Amino acid sequence: MGASLRLPTNPEVSVAVGPRIGVSGTGVDVDVSLMQQIQIAGERGARLDAANALRDLTEAEIEVIRWAVHCDVHAAFHRAIVDQERMRLAERVVSFQREVSRVVDRQIAAGEASPLALRLARAEVAQAEQVLVAAQQAFFASRVRLAQLSGWPVDAPPMPVGAAGSPADPPPLDRLREVAQARLPSLRANATRIREAEARSTLADREAWPRPSLGVQYRREGNPSAEGAYDVVMGVVSIPIPSFQRNQGDRARARADVTVAEAELEASRRLLDGELAAARSEVAAAAARARAYGTEILPLFEESLALLQRSFELGEIDLLALAIGRERLLRIQSDALGAQQDYFVALARLERVVGVDLRDHEESTR
């Protein structure tokens, strides 16, 4: 609104009244003037351009924050998915250990096991239940974090739905660089910052021009003689001389801001290649780890537990070997889930550097 004003100041009215004293008598002089300052260097258009550039810069900076939140929500969602799977694993282990405890009860009743085995089985149940409580708390904390990032009510955090998806290798580095140069919000904000600083520099130069004032003056000269008073009307032009004040401070600051914005954009572009290479490498390594686990290890956990329990019931392994086997399977399963989580967190980090959702972008370009 302020930038769209056509006149920089309000009109100014001055009134002067006083006696005219002469040998012929006394009269009254009245002097009234109306002055309006105007702009002759296109300051209004420069102000509008600067205001529009500031609006664009504000929107670009908001987009930077919005994209950062988008990537954080992606990472938090996949953390919650993995923590949910960890909780389900813990629930399955508790169920497994309780079933083992019931088997030991039957073995003791049949005289095939000692009471010490029952104590060990019950201890394993208690330990599995504690692991379950910790997993439930970790999953709830992930949901709360997801609610905080997405604006969901914290007292009823969202329940993640769906699967994490299959890890895939990231696009080539050249392709990522091309997309980032065109789409990365921070680069676009830096470029917009240059345009905004240039618009302010242009405005500061325009405001260094003098601002003349145009007006009209009415004067009534009191004449005590028989001829009577005189009425005088004159047009007035007032032009300041720009000898000392030429808006030097604002012009220097605006030019400095242009230089700083250009340097920031150049530095961001130089750093981009390294950030892309590092983030892409993390995604590629995490994808390889996840693929090594995902196709065989994760689907076979339930079957492996059933085989362990069957071997124990048949007496092929004792309780200690059962516990060791179950712990080993659980650790491998947890490592596999950790590899999946690392992949999607790394993918979110790469998307933050590239500026697009890579999965959606790749599908749209096919």
Q: What is the CA radius of gyration of the chain?
A: 40
Q: For the residues 158-181, what does the mean pLDDT come to? A: 86
Q: Where are the domains of the chain?
A: 2-208+215-364
* pLDDT score, position 362: 53
For the purposes of burial, counting CB atoms within 10 Å of the CB of 5, is it exposed (0-12), middle (13-18) or buried (19 or more)? Answer: exposed
For the purposes of burial, counting CB atoms within 10 Å of the CB of 309, is it exposed (0-12), middle (13-18) or buried (19 or more)? Answer: middle
Largest Cα separation within the chain, whole Å, is: 146
**Given a cut of 60, is residue 361 above it in pLDDT?**
no
**Given a cut of 90, is residue 143 above it in pLDDT?**
yes
The count of residues in the chain is 366
Distance CA 337, CA 45 (A): 59
Q: What is the pLDDT of residues 209-227, one digit of tens each?
A: 888 999 999 998 877 766 7
Q: Kindly state the helix (H) or strand (E) to which residue 217 belongs, with its residue range.
A: strand 213-221
Distance CA 182, CA 186 (A): 11
Q: Kindly state the helix (H) or strand (E) to which residue 205 belongs, with its residue range.
A: helix 185-206
**Given a cut of 80, is residue 25 above it in pLDDT?**
no
Non-local (6+) Cβ contacts of 161 within 8 A are: none
Q: What is the pLDDT of residues 52-75, one digit of tens each?
A: 999 999 999 999 999 999 999 989
Mean of the per-residue pLDDT values for the chain? Answer: 85
What pTM did the predictor assign? 0.75
* CATH number, span 2-208+215-364: 1.20.1600.10
* pLDDT score, position 139: 94
Distance CA 143, CA 153 (A): 11
* pLDDT score, position 151: 87
* pLDDT score, position 185: 94
Q: What is the pLDDT of residues 36-55, one digit of tens each?
A: 988 888 888 898 999 999 99
